[in-house]
Structure formats: structure tokens, C-alpha cells
Amino acid sequence: MLGTLYGIGVGPGDPDLLTLKAVKILGRVGHVFAASSSSNDYSLALDIVRDHLPREVPVSFLDFPMTFNKDRLEEAWRANCETVVQRLEAGVHVAFLTLGDPMTFSTFIYLLRKIRSRLPQVPVEIVPGITSYQAAAACAAVPLSEAEETLTVISGAKGGERLPEVLPFSDNVVLMKAYKHFPQILQKIRDLGLQDRVCFVSRCGLDGQVVEKDFAALEGLKPHYLSLLIVKKTGTPP
């Protein structure tokens, strides 16, 4: 019997935003996996769920390097997949923790794809989590969409290059991963004349939370990795 692979969304940071379903499943799995960056073994997702893990359950970190280098990523995903597959083949139920939601800009998506091609018959259950942008909209009291408005969610990891492309059909845009190429993202917003229609949220629900609606205050900022922007093209500005 193969173990079940659980993809668990743990929400954006505040442990109170963990779902009851996530807590129930974490109480009965045989092994918990979490992603770590290459440079350390710290996993925020693990911190969020720690109080709900039975003391005896083994926890392992999977190294997903933060790089666009396809070969390095491919090798990391292959190795991580093998580590998890070994446990599943031993009949162990396994949880993989993801910040926010597992099917939204998440390493779980890659892991799931790899594991399914290696072990097509593996049972999978995915527990959705509150996404970072839902939590950010709530803490900033900025609506994400209303009435007939559209909402588009894009990555800012490469400087928000798709913002001009999506804007014509988007009333609201969320730019995730708004940290590395932040000056380029701000320039795109300036070029599009949207300076008064931006809300920046960083470390939502965590120590050091920032909510900033004044564009001038964003100039020169070096945002934390856990940062995003909500851009409201139409309706009331943020």
C-alpha cells in the first residue's frame, strides 16, 4: 500500500489562519516535509504548524534552490521527489507544507508533478490555504474585486514585465514576489500612471508587517521576500 501525499496550505503567516482540516491531517501523517532555501534550514511554514505536530513525527527539509537555472532546479526536484517517494512506497502518509495555498505559486506544484510522473497511482489530497494576497487585502482593507471587476494575479519576480500586458483587461492586479526587482516594478507602475492606486503589503500577519499605500514611501525600499503589491486600476484607490 502506498502512503497518501498531502499538500497542506498553512496560510500566509498567522498560525490562526491555519485550517481545521490542515490541523487534523497534520495530527495523523507519518512524515512532514517542508521546503527550505539553499542557504538555511529555516521554514516559515514549519514554524506556523509546529504547535500542531505530534512530537514524534519526523520532519525533513527539502532544498529548493531559489534560482532560474533550469538544470539546478531539475536536479533539486528530482532528488526531492525521490526522498518523498521512498516514504510513500514504505506506506507512510506524507505531508508537504506550503506557505499560503499549495496550488498558488508554490513548490508543491512542481513536487506533485514529479511525484505523479514517478508514481502515477499515488493517492493525493490537497488542503487549500488562505493565500498571501487574500490575507494582505484583508489586513489593508483593500477589496480585491467587486461586481463585474476582474482580478489578475501575476509574479513580480522578473520585475513585473507582464503588468502592461495584463492591465488592459484587469481592474485589479496582484503582483506577488515583489521584492528582488522592486525598482523595476515601481518604474512600470509609474510608466502606467498608477502611483495613486497601489497598496504594498509585506510580512502580512508576521513580525515586521508593513502596509503602505503612499507610493512615495516605497521609493528606495528594499522589500522583504514576503512582499506583494495590490494595484487597483479602477474603483476607489486603496
CB closer to ligand SAM, 94 vs 174: 174
Binding residues with ligand SAM: total (CB under 6 A): 26
Cβ contact 59:32 at 8 Å: yes
CB closer to ligand SAM, 178 vs 231: 178
Q: Binding ligand SAM by CB under 6 A: which of 126, 166, 206, 221?
A: 206
Question: Considering the rule CB under 6 A, would residue 225 count as an interface residue with ligand SAM?
Answer: yes
Question: Considering the rule CB under 6 A, would residue 43 count as an interface residue with ligand SAM?
Answer: no
Question: Considering the rule CB under 6 A, would residue 36 count as an interface residue with ligand SAM?
Answer: no
Would you give the distance in Å from CA 108 to the centre of its chain? 10
The beta strands (E) that lie in the chain are given as: 5-9, 31-36, 59-63, 94-98, 124-127, 151-155, 172-176, 198-202, 210-212, 227-232
Residue 75 backbone phi and psi in degrees, to 5: -65, -40
**Minimum gap (Å) between residue 118 Cβ and ligand SAM:** 23
Q: Binding ligand SAM by CB under 6 A: which of 7, 159, 160, 205?
A: 205
Q: Binding ligand SAM by CB under 6 A: which of 203, 212, 231, 232?
A: 203
Task: Single out the residue of 137, 132, 134 nearest to residue 238, CA to CA.
Answer: 137
CB closer to ligand SAM, 119 vs 206: 206
Task: Find residue 19's DSSP bridge partners.
Answer: none
Element (H, E) at 79: helix 70-89
CB closer to ligand SAM, 94 vs 228: 228
How far are the Cα atoms of 146, 157, 218 from residue 165, in angstroms, in the given order? 22, 16, 23
Residue 233 backbone phi and psi in degrees, to 5: -75, -40
For ligand SAM, what does the binding mask look like between residues 71 and 110, x meaning CB under 6 A? ---------------------------xxxx--xxx----
Per CB under 6 A, contacts with ligand SAM among 113-142 are 131-132, 136
Helix axes 70-89, 107-118, angle to 10 degrees: 60
Residues that bind ligand SAM (CB under 6 A): 12-13, 98-101, 104-106, 131-132, 136, 176-179, 201-206, 225-228
